[in-house]
Chains A and B, each alone.
Chain A
């Protein structure tokens, strides 16, 4: 690794210290320090378990987002599987200081100014991401047909691969499949845009990280995902990541060049976001149970499936899945 980093930077960093970073969903992530200073972060493919994208595709998305103006952690070098970073393919990026621990972002005093700026910064980062045409990222999955139906296909297939019976998720998926929004023009979608995947410092957004779930999709997917109750960490009255209200966030997205989706489309993707989070929880627990990635933390996610299931059914109850009746019932808020 020292050799690879010396080659990439033109400067031998000396002896390296590696420490694992917690919180990565499936990729292995290490902090690499030299001389006691954090310098790089290395992400590596796991030996087994869930991976939605190859590391090469993830890297391509980071580069395209960077070109579009999104703050990312600059890539330093890439090593294919079996290369100088070990068995799995891996890449090193510059270390970006700050935190990606959502409860800290939502509560720490020193991040008060960051919290004020973040909704606008997140809206702008998404608007920039969504300017990227799928063709700009080689091998990017999705976008061949209607992104909404592709999402139905993807999560149904994932449920089948896991094999856990989740009738509430199935009922939600069926409703969504029968009532998709009009097809959207596919763009680069981050796929897991929430505080846990954003590095925040006292000035606000420092970098958008963890592009593992990126794909060609409906930009509304990212906007709705950010509003999932699971990412509010108790700030349930602030739909946008526990930080702010929906309306100013969408206005900021529009002001930054994004095309504002209508309330029905957002509602559909919010329901789909809950499907996705429920299936990801089931997948993580499954990876523990099969022994692919033994972990008490992953195991515990099996008992969190019911949270997004509840939110999914609450969104869909009494509606045709497009959100029309639910919207009227709640007083017309998107």
Chain B
């Protein structure tokens, strides 16, 4: 256990400071770089708060699109690695034409995966 503030709370404080104050201290033409850093802090804070659930949901979706059983269950600490490995398999299967007969379904359902990424990286974009 660490004392508060928690990691997301600290990142949010950093984002606020960068956005509201540090931005004003740098020359105008470089302020964009501070905005990028402030935004990254906010992204990481949202990612930490969301925990393993988005990756677990992605792994389940990718298995479903690959017509694989949803089992075995995935441990939260493995969620990201499993999702990544399954994403690679799905990407390969799509490229190989193995999903051609259900490409509409894949295109429709993969919006769920992209929406989960947007909720962390750019809330409101997919709205």
Contact = CB atoms under 8 A, between A and B. Distances in A.
A167 B39 contact: no
Interface in B98-127: 99-100, 103-104, 106-108, 110-111, 113-115, 117-118, 120-122, 125-126
Interface in A68-105: none
Contact of B118 (A166, A306, A316): A306
Interface stretch (A50-58, A169-177, A185-193): A169-177
B106 A297 contact: no
Contact of A172 (B37, B107, B120): B107
Interface in A295-334: 296-297, 299-300, 303-307, 309-310, 313-314, 316-318
Contact of A307 (B62, B65, B125): B125
B95 A304 contact: no
A22 interface: yes
B11 interface: no
A166 B32 contact: no
Interface string B19-60: 000000000011011001101100100000000000000000
A317 B107 contact: yes
User: Which 4 residue pairs across A and B have the least CB separation, nearest first?
Assistant: A306-B117, A165-B88, A165-B87, A170-B94
Interface of A: 22, 156, 165-168, 170-175, 178, 296-297, 299-300, 303-307, 309-310, 313-314, 316-318
Contact of B95 (A168, A170, A297): A170
Interface of B: 29-30, 32-33, 36-37, 39-40, 43, 62, 65, 84, 87-88, 90-91, 94-95, 97, 99-100, 103-104, 106-108, 110-111, 113-115, 117-118, 120-122, 125-126
A173 B96 CA distance: 12
B33 A167 contact: no
Contacts of B104: 317-318
Contact of A171 (B40, B103, B125): B103
A101 to B, nearest CB: 8
B114 A296 contact: no
21 contacts: A22-B29, A22-B32, A165-B84, A165-B90, A165-B91, A166-B87, A167-B106, A168-B111, A170-B94, A170-B95, A178-B103, A296-B36, A300-B39, A300-B40, A304-B121, A304-B122, A306-B125, A307-B125, A309-B117, A313-B108, A317-B104
Contacts of B113: 167-168
B100 A178 contact: yes
B40 A307 contact: no
A301 to B, nearest CB: 9
A299 B43 CA distance: 13
Contact of A167 (B90, B115, B118): B90
Given A303-B43, A306-B122, A307-B125, A170 B91 contact: yes
